[in-house]
Copies of this chain bind each other. A is one copy, B any other.
Amino acid sequence: MPPDASQPNVHRQVVDQLGRLIVGGSLAPGDALPSEELLAGQLVVSRSALREAMKVIGAKGLIESRQKTGARVRERRFWHQLDADVLGWRFATMPTQAFIAELVEMREIIEPAAAAAAAKKRDRDQLAAIAAAYQAMAAAGDRDAWAKADAEFHSAVLNAANNELMSSLFNVIATALHGFFLLSARASDDFKYSLPHHFNVYDAIRKRSAPQARMAMQKMVDDSRRHLQHTGGVA
């Protein structure tokens, strides 16, 4: 339970408001924000709460504030777009196909590489976790159970790659995409269509064959993209 949503914390709400404003484009890069006093008045919060929110927004790379000059919106390339909040704001304000395509592309790069690394570096327990997730997928009766086991599988593969940075990155991307897929790809019924792919990935990692693992995962994400294009319609 991250301290994110549903909390009536004032500064958290202000963070969300400012984040959406900036990411949504109402405030363009280079624009100056109103003075703290004024902005606090507009949002009906104290300057303390506003400042705490602005520090958070600044930590996410969206604004930069200097004395007297005030806070200015930074250029987009400074936005730490791998931040869960920033991704969420992008989804909330401009979930364009291009943006989703970027996320999907990242996923399609990371996962095959992670599978290859996992084949090389996994230990016994990590393999067992992958196997367990696979069996849970095979045994899944409904879509929800399958989705849960599927997420577990991918997470286990990433974990077996023994690269925390990669796991962390994939986590952010997967979470962002998850929210999208829940909304769009509800149609198809054959939710187990990718089970063989998953087995191939598991088997290659078991055999410690990095190229095979990479190829199997590659096929899986390719298939996933094709499937999506049929149901959801992502570029």
**Complex: chain B residue closest to A171, CB-CB:** B77
A117 within 8 A of B: yes
Q: How many copies does the complex hold?
A: 2
Can you list, as one digit per residue, whether each of A75-87 has a CB less than 8 Å from chain B (1) or not (0)?
Answer: 0111111111100
CB-based contact A78/B11 at 8 Å = no
Cα A64 to Cα B101 in complex, Å, equals 32
**Complex: chain B residue closest to A106, CB-CB:** B165
Which of A52-60, A127-135, A197-205 participates in binding chain B?
A52-60
Pick the 10 closest A-B CB pairs, nearest first. Answer: A109-B113, A59-B59, A56-B59, A52-B55, A82-B82, A102-B163, A102-B165, A81-B168, A55-B56, A81-B165
Q: Report the count of interface residues on A (CB-CB < 8 A).
A: 42
Note all chain B residues with C-beta closer than 8 A to A141. Answer: none
Give the dominant DSSP class at A's interface: helix
Cα A103 to Cα B169 in complex, Å, equals 12
CB-based contact B59/A2 at 8 Å = no
User: Given known contacts A82-B169, A106-B166, what 10 new A-B pairs fall within 8 Å (CB)?
Assistant: A52-B55, A59-B60, A59-B85, A77-B167, A80-B84, A80-B172, A81-B165, A102-B166, A103-B165, A109-B109
Cα A195 to Cα B29 in complex, Å, equals 36
A48 within 8 A of B: yes
Can you list, as one digit per residue, whether each of A109-148 has a CB less than 8 Å from chain B (1) or not (0)?
Answer: 1100100010000000000000000000000000000000
**Cβ < 8 Å to B, chain A residues 159-177:** 163-169, 171-172
A66 within 8 A of B: yes
CB-based contact A106/B3 at 8 Å = no
A227 within 8 A of B: no
A219 within 8 A of B: no
A31 within 8 A of B: no
CB-based contact B76/A164 at 8 Å = yes
Given contacts A48-B48, A103-B165, contact A58 B3 (CB under 8 A): yes
A105 within 8 A of B: yes
